[in-house]
Chain A
Amino acid sequence: MFKKIGFRLIFVVGLTALIIIGVYSYFNIRSQTNMLLAEVERHANQLSEAVKNGTRYDMLYNQRDRIHQIISTMGQGANIKDIRILNKEGEVIYSPHTEDIGKMLDKNAESCYACHAANKPLESISIKERTRIYRIHPDSARIIGIINPIYNEESCWKADCHAHPKNAKILGVLDVTMSLEEVDKEIVKSEIQEMLFALISILSIGIIISIFVKRWVDKPVQELVKGTNKVAIGELNYTIKQTGNDELGVLAKSFNNMTKKLNEMRLQLFQSEKLASIGQLAAGVAHEINNPLTGVLTYSSFLLKRTKDNPEFQEDLNVIVRETKRSREIVKSLLDFSRQSTPKKNPADLNEIVNKAESVVLNQLRINNCELVKDLSPSIPNITVDANQIQQVFINFLVNAVDAIGPKGGKITIKTSEIELSPRGITQIKSAVCPNGHNLIDENHRIDGLPSIKLKAKYGENIGFIHIDPIYGKNNNHYGIPLQKNKTIYLSCPECDVTLIDKTAKCEKCGSEIYQINIPGQGTLLGCTKMNCNWQKWDYIDKGGKKRFIEISISDTGCGIAPENVNKIFDPFFSTKGQKGTGLGLSVNWGIIDNHNGSIAVISKLGEGTMFKVRLPIDENINRV
């Protein structure tokens, strides 16, 4: 249980509260006790003075009975334990308890010690010294005693009784003792109150902290643990829903980001593995199936030759030959698909390729009452492509469109245009060196499959490496040091430690220091050293303007693609055409466009139609620096 961070936190805060409140209560109780005692002391002193003044007159006239009476009456007061008058020798002369009268007290005894400490009577002592607190035996209540000396004065030695000589300074003492039982009860009561207060405070602090710890720490941590467990068992599309803005929230967000990236990478890997294994399978199938097909084809065409005069046989045999040749074409396309050959590229006019593809499927278009609308931009430049492969791509798209439209007829629109996209997020940094000429490209650490730029990073005590995303402006950097917001880092060459910081300029976004990396032959790349500032500037590329692409969109008014199938359409052998299709068309298209560094996007609405958008880079050399 103590291993839990929440409990540790509650324990530490509770302990701190306990110490603070404990110390506070201790001093509070002490001062309260002192105040109460001082009050009692004052009260006892007043009482003592009152007795002294009340009996003064009777003393002078030596009216002992009256003094007795006063003392006995006052001695019955609440909390008053004893009122005694002692003479100089220590003999009890008056007391409410008649049995005590005449008793001699030892001068070293409790009540006398204050004045007679030096065995010599003192004449004047302070009230503090005249007060004493004691117990008769350990179980009884505390008692406060106060001694009030009775001084000799003129009227005393001039009185008729002549009981006191003139030279005596002190004639006796008035000793008033009072029980502290009530006061002690009061003190205990306030002690209990203090302790109760301390307990309640500590408890409520604990409860409040535990509630917030549960809410701010426990719950998000549990969510994270749950998430990591889900990821561990392979559930990579799990996302943590509630993410706050605190550090754990940031962690949860980066966790979500991580699983998203992992998921994408797994899908990519899965796709390429699938393609590779399909390729192997296809090659194997092609080899195995081509031998029996040879038998079928040669024997059937042999029979065809031998039965020239039998038209009935001829007809059937022709079907066999035709279908075998069709099988041959399917196997051939399988082999073409599995062959990951590099395309044979030449400068070509895409509009011309579109026209050629149209002429191939013209018959099919007519049969299915499909109208083909061409919106070809005459100004698009020639680009280097494998014309045959690209034509195949268009044919595949057109055939699919015709199939999607069906026999009732519809419209297919094919459009070519030139578009421009920002170089940021597309351009790859392929070489980078430090001022001393050391290569900074790390082939072993790849970001999204591309070699990254490795830099030595330092801030505070933290030293490590940072891998900068090689795609300009994408900033999917990998940090080998603890990530801290708003922290600027010192960057240097991992090999010679020469600084990469450019003191002459500041980040245009946040004003922090910037780093500078030489891109051989292509200027310098500048970037912000602040961890969460994603500013990058590469003048050489920015000056080149936007990246140009040719976009070819093929849209139809066909049946559309069901949303659950959209992700599968580029998978080999995925087909909704049943017997009619091989399921290879779109996956072949994907492979071809990918080989040309292009991309395919699909927008489809069930029942309304589908649009495929193919983008091909116009100038390869600028695209892949």
Chain B
Amino acid sequence: MNKSIKDILVIDDEQVILDSVVKIGGSEGFMVDSADNGQAALEKLEGNDYRLIVSDIMMPVMDGFALLDELSSRNISTPVIMTTGYSTFDNAVNSLYRGAIDFIPKPFSIEELVSAINRGIKYSGIIKQEGMGGSSELLPYVPCPSKYFRIGYSCWVYSSGKNSAVIGITDLFNKTIDTITGIELVQPGDQINQANYAIKIETGSDLLHQVYSPISGKVVAVNDKLLEDFSILEKDPYFEGWIYQVEPADFDNEIKNLIPCCSDRV
């Protein structure tokens, strides 16, 4: 069966959202298809292949979470970006834990959407490459070490001691963005919270990538070396390329919302 390949499927029960994503996606050169609920999206997925799905959470007939579950049960590996007008902590954590690659709260600006779409399309390409390469081949990216945990695919955390944890960016995330031109971090002493933006990365072409923190806690130190030389992130994303050293507030509980990296190596 020959399926036509399209770039993006956007799913939302609000026409204006569909229209704006179609318009913005189109202006970036992507072919965007739309569906107004999860069920309609599944029908579209029968006849077409998409590189990326952008889905709302609260919809009639079939909501975003049900769609995520349905996709994984049908072995459809198309990456999904979740978006919602009801952007609570629970919705963010749930989306990322159930396999969505990203979560953008509404209302999003054009930059936020374009950045997320660009990352998603690249992610899609890398995953496809991985699938074609087979298990014996080298992965196109370095996966995070097995004792690490991650939120979505972007940010990892590793508990380095009783009251200390290190946070960084995964190699896969690094591969989905262009050359870094700037990193904006919070100051030592500041508080960061799980599933809230903690890292801002600027790349060329006006894109701004925001990364969710995997845990809550007080920032003890930031990696000044990395701020001087962004290439460390590429060379050693899991050790030398750490970003924050944190005093976690409630590590044992918050870890339940994270995906263990060891599950990637089955």
Interface residues, chain A, CB within 8 Å of chain B?
283, 286-299, 301-302, 305, 321, 324-325, 328, 332, 335, 339, 341, 344-346, 348, 352, 386-388
Contact = CB atoms under 8 A, between A and B. Distances in A.
Question: What are the 6 closest A-B residue pairs judged by CB atoms, nearest first?
Answer: A290-B85, A295-B16, A293-B107, A301-B110, A294-B107, A298-B20
Nearest to B57: A287
Q: What size tier do the contact residues of chain B reach?
A: 35 or more
Interface string B222-252: 0000000000000000000000000101100
Q: Is the interface of B mostly helix, strand, loop or mixed?
A: mixed
Contacts of B32: none
A344 B191 contact: yes
B189 interface: yes
Given A301-B109, A386-B191, A294 B27 contact: no
Contacts of B191: 344, 346, 386-388
B115 interface: no
B189 A352 contact: yes
B87 A335 contact: yes
B250 to A, nearest CB: 7
A339 B88 CA distance: 8
Q: Which of B21, B86, B106, B189 has the most CB of A within 10 A?
A: B106
11 contacts: A286-B86, A290-B85, A290-B86, A291-B107, A294-B108, A297-B107, A298-B113, A302-B27, A335-B88, A346-B217, A387-B191
Residue among B14, B27, B87, B107 with the most chain A CB within 10 A? B107
Contact of B20 (A302, A305, A346): A302
Contacts of A298: 20-21, 23-24, 107-110, 113
A387 B218 contact: yes
Contacts of B250: 344
Contacts of B89: 339, 341
Interface in B107-128: 107-111, 113
A346 B251 CA distance: 12
Nearest to A297: B107
B193 A283 contact: no
B216 interface: yes
Contacts of A287: 58, 84-86
A295 B189 contact: no
B157 to A, nearest CB: 15
A387 to B, nearest CB: 5
B167 to A, nearest CB: 15
Interface string B7-31: 0000000101101110110010000
B193 A293 contact: no
A341 B88 CA distance: 10
Interface string B178-209: 00000000000111011000000000000000
Given A305-B110, A346-B191, A299 B218 contact: no
Contacts of B217: 344, 346
Nearest to B56: A291
Contacts of A297: 107-110
A295 B109 contact: no
Contacts of B86: 283, 286-287, 290, 335
Given A290-B85, A352-B189, A387-B218, A301 B111 contact: yes
Nearest to B86: A287
Contacts of A286: 85-86
A591 to B, nearest CB: 16
Given A298-B20, A298-B24, A290 B107 contact: yes
A325 B109 CA distance: 9
A345 B249 contact: yes
Contacts of A294: 14, 16-17, 20, 85, 106-108
B184 to A, nearest CB: 17
B23 A302 contact: yes
Contacts of B216: 344
Nearest to B87: A335
A375 B108 CA distance: 42
